[in-house]
Structure 1
Amino acid sequence: MAGTDVADAPPRRGRKRHVLGAVALLAVVAAGGAAFVVIDHGGEPEATGTAKAPVATTSVVKTDLSDTRTLPGTLGFGAERSVRGAGTGLVTRLPKAGATVARGKPLYWVDDHPVPAFVGDTPLFRKLDKVGTRGRDVTVVANNLRALGYTIGYLPPQTPAAGKPSVPGDVFTAPLKSALKQWQVDAGLEPTGTLDVGQVVVLPGPSRVASIKAQLGDPVAEELITVTPTAKVVTVPVDATDVGTIRPKARVSIVLPSGKKIAGQVTAIGRTVQDVTDGSGQNTAQLNITVTPRKAADVKALDAAGVEVTFTSQVRRGVLAVPVGALLALREGGYALQLPDGKLVAAETGMFLRGMVEVTGTGVTEGLKVVTSS
């Protein structure tokens, strides 16, 4: 503070430090929700014999400041995804709710023929029967056959022809066609070496059957089942205005219904805003945060449950702190702490949290007694 030695200047005899304009100017600290007094130095002479009123004091403490919030969440398998059939025919067998979907194994049956599941990001949208066909659907077939242990041979890279757009994906080669035929033999399918629309169903990843939507005898080209991922996650609705304080991959703690605390990690932050009406009729915009337990075994015995999740957005360990009410905002700028004898000690502020503020500066030490308004 330029021109003011706040650490060593004792109060002048016969004068007192007074509140500017004889009125306390309260400034609200946004992060702490508390108030401090703006002061200057100087004022009118103190009346002789006036008794000094007792002041409240507190001590500078060394502590950890942690910005944490605990929110309710729901343990489960995450959002359900609808699975529709394709092609023609009638559904003759369906899986059971709760069943795990295995790559390359039948998920349902059409006209009493099994429809196996593949994993990928592109459904089969055409018949694959001609060697030389290129596309992302071919890549799905190649990746799944390779994952199932079949030798698919060399897949040549694309050499774009001049003036023609490139086509993403792999080529349906003769070795790949042969591998497909061998898989069909092993899976109990007709060994044609070809795949038509509806003969396999493509899911986005390892899946679990959540619910059954169709009945036996329904046309296959309808919603048949819903699936979820196989890993259990916690879904936490968070006010849209608070989502910015939560970071992907952030570590969190989860309290189970038993009271056991387990470790988790933020694995997804939703992008779809939902309007939620609370008990008072107020609408709140919320986004869903997905938290995954770090050890699946910790939630093995639970399929669904209400839990609590603690998020920590900022931590300051081993810092010096005082109640916000001990801060003095100086007229010339900056802050100070007032000692019981009236002296001022310059203080730099750091993190504000729940009525406490981090302070540093020359002379600011653990255990230092300072005046406080709270």
Structure 2
Amino acid sequence: MPKSRRRTAVIAISVLVAVAIAGAVALIFLNRPPVAAPPSAPSVKTATVRKGDLSNTRSIPGTLGFGAQRPIKGTGAGTITKLPAIGDVAKMGKPLYWVDDRPVPVFFGATPLFRKLEAPGTKGSDVAVVMDNLAQLGYQVGRRPNDDTKAEFTTTVSDALKRWQKKSGLAETGTLDVGQILVLDAPARVASVQAQPGSTVTEALFTVTPEARVVTLSVGVGDAGALKAGTPVAVARPDAKEVPAKVTTVSHAAPSENGPSNQQKLDVVVVPDNPADVADLDSAPVQVKIITESRTGVLVVPVEALIALREGGYALQLPSGQLQAVQTGMYAQNKVEVTGAGVTEGLEVVIAS
């Protein structure tokens, strides 16, 4: 082979080898796994110190209904000729039952009619009841003293009574005798009927309950805490909806001779603020939520923000890593009250992730 041809062949082979080597190197680089990025610093979870209210509650089982039944007996003389139906509501000035075919209307007050009112100048708390009801029914009765015992049966009261009797279909006498009205202490609903037409009026006639639905519950004397009339509570319905309510009565039990006083029970009555909130329920088990402890307008953080110190006590960690010593107060619903130098509303703190 001539010398020039050998040189050309060597060059061609060299080029092919170089191309092959370059391709292999490129293939190696293309198939090499990517280099991992250096790890970033871990992020921290933070929360803000806020001002708010804390409260702890306790749930006590109760029963929603119309409350305890109270028996009603008639007064005076005569035979029952008509009785109310269960569910009937006593209304001021309207009859609830009939005696000898005469209607017996309802008045509201604290003192039942215990004598016949006919002589001008008669004074007493029963006169006050008559004056109050006639006035609320729209009749002029004259001046009513603040002291019930000084309320006077005057000709003005008698005239008002006569006008009311006429409008109500009663004998227009201007006087009022025992048994001619039924005095109840508050609006009521008929819960059951015991008497029958033909019974004497002095027998047990029927029972009544409060007109509005109430919640009744029994609470141990030792667990009642500060429960008293007017205490706000929440009533949890069977559907878990909570409605605001208030305690209206707390009946204190006498100490037991057979056990410690904290085993005694208190009968508590709770009334919803808005009767419409429970109007769809006649009777149902409920839970009454009572506030046992509360704090208002305090600085709070999540409990997870607290760091227990080796020397005792707690601190909050700032995002910079600095520890801020705090004093803890009330705990409630995964939050805690905190105070301390430098602890202010809006302070950002680290919480455990």
**TM-score normalized with structure 1 length:** 0.67
**Does 1:136 pair with 2:125?**
yes
In 2 relative to 1, CA 81–330 (structure 1 residues): closer, same or farther, beyond 3 Å? farther
Structure 2 unaligned residues grouped into runs of 5+: 1-44, 257-261
Aligned ranges 1:73-88 → 2 under 5 Å? 73-88=62-77
Could you tell me which of 178, 181, 188 is aligned with 1:207? Answer: 188
What is residue 37 of structure 2 aligned with on the other side?
Answer: none
**What per-residue deviation string (whole Å, max 9, x for no partner) do you get for residues 60-118 of structure 1?**
88576420122222111222222111112222211001001111111111222221111
What is residue 21 of structure 2 aligned with on the other side?
Answer: none
**What per-residue deviation string (whole Å, max 9, x for no partner) do you get for residues 234-287 of structure 1?**
22332322222445434333332233x2432213241233999xxxxxx94322
**Does 1:237 pair with 2:218?**
yes
Question: What is the total number of aligned residue pairs between the two structures?
Answer: 294
AA partner of residue 271 (structure 1): S
In 2 relative to 1, CA 318–362 (structure 1 residues): closer, same or farther, beyond 3 Å? closer
Q: Tell me which protein shows more helix as a share of its residues.
A: 2
- Judge conservation of contact 1:184–1:191 (CA < 8 Å) in 2: yes
- Judge conservation of contact 2:302–2:334 (CA < 8 Å) in 1: no
What is residue 349 of structure 2 aligned with on the other side?
Answer: 367
Q: Distance in 1 between matches of 2:221 and 2:304?
A: 30
Aligned ranges 1:48-127 → 2 under 5 Å? 62=49, 65-127=54-116
- Judge conservation of contact 1:68–1:312 (CA < 8 Å) in 2: yes
Displacement of 1:200 in angstroms is: 0.7
Q: Distance in 2 between matches of 1:302 and 1:167?
A: 39
Q: More deviation in 100-109 or 265-274? A: 265-274
- Judge conservation of contact 1:210–1:225 (CA < 8 Å) in 2: yes
Q: Secondary structure at the match of 2:61?
A: strand
RMSD, aligned α-carbons = 3.5
Displacement of 1:185 in angstroms is: 1.8
In 2 relative to 1, CA 329–142 (structure 1 residues): closer, same or farther, beyond 3 Å? farther
AA partner of residue 278 (structure 2): V
Q: Secondary structure at the match of 1:101?
A: coil
**Does 1:271 pair with 2:251?**
yes
Q: Distance in 2 between matches of 1:137 and 1:143?
A: 10
What is residue 256 of structure 1 aligned with on the other side?
Answer: 237
Aligned ranges 1:247-326 → 2 under 5 Å? 248-259=229-240, 261-273=241-253, 284-313=263-292, 314-316=294-296, 318-320=299-301, 322=303
Runs of 4+ in structure 1 off by over 6 angstroms are 58-61, 328-331
Structure 1 unaligned residues grouped into runs of 5+: 1-57, 159-165, 277-282
Q: Distance in 2 between matches of 1:337 and 1:167?
A: 64
What is residue 143 of structure 2 aligned with on the other side?
Answer: 155
Q: Secondary structure at the match of 2:208?
A: strand
- Judge conservation of contact 1:61–1:322 (CA < 8 Å) in 2: no
**What per-residue deviation string (whole Å, max 9, x for no partner) do you get for residues 281-338 of structure 1?**
xx9432233222222222222221112222234145651354799656979xxx4549
- Judge conservation of contact 1:238–1:287 (CA < 8 Å) in 2: yes
- Judge conservation of contact 2:73–2:203 (CA < 8 Å) in 1: yes
Q: Distance in 1 between matches of 2:138 and 2:149?
A: 24
- Judge conservation of contact 2:316–2:349 (CA < 8 Å) in 1: no
In 2 relative to 1, CA 216–369 (structure 1 residues): closer, same or farther, beyond 3 Å? closer
Q: More deviation in 318-327 or 304-313? A: 318-327
What is residue 193 of structure 1 aligned with on the other side?
Answer: 174
Q: Secondary structure at the match of 1:254?
A: strand
- Identity, in percent, stands at 43
